[in-house]
Amino acid sequence: MLGSRYPEIKEKPSNPKESYIFWGFLGGFSSGLLGIGGGVVMLPILNLLLKFSIHKAIGTSTAFIIFASIGGILTYIFTGMNATGLPPYSLGYVNLLQFAALAGTSIPMARIGVKAAHRLPDKELKYIFAALLIYIALKMMGVFQWLNLPL
């Protein structure tokens, strides 16, 4: 993603519909199996394999987050409908106060993130994404805790 063999992509990708279905299924299955967000898997697929520009890949990946989120929310609501001992203002396993707080801050911050991403050149955006992936990987492996770093 960062190497010189992957130049900035300017033209519109022209892939057959089947490739989108295949890579979408594989990316969704992989992220579900690993228990990680789909963007971590789909951004490299969209950028490297399907030849989307990094900006278009981020936008496309972000647009599909809403569908995964709705599925997750509905699952937590329906599986927790008869659960006992839930905090007040809960609908299933979804606490409506926390949902409102997260949605209320996520939506404006997403707009700020989109504006910031569009101001950055492709290469810088790729470096930021790579650094974020490395940080997340190290955090998930417990490297910072092992080194007693408060990160």
Q: Is residue 91 part of a domain?
A: yes
Residue with tokens 């394999």: 49
pLDDT one-digit tens code per residue, 2-37: 554 555 555 667 788 899 999 989 988 888 888 777
Instruction: Report yes or no on 50 lying in a domain.
Output: yes
* 142 occurs within a structural domain: yes
Whole-prediction pTM value?
0.70
In a domain, 135, yes or no: yes
Q: Is residue 4 part of a domain?
A: no
Q: Which domain holds residue 83?
A: 17-146
Of 36, 35, 14, 38, whose CA–CA distance to 26 is shortest?
Answer: 38
Total domain count for the chain?
1
Backbone angles phi, psi at 94, to 5 degrees: -100, 115
Q: Is residue 94 part of a domain?
A: yes
The answer to whether position 10 is within a domain reads: no
pLDDT number for residue 91: 95
Six-digit token pair at 35? 């228990």
Token pair 């972000």 is found at 62
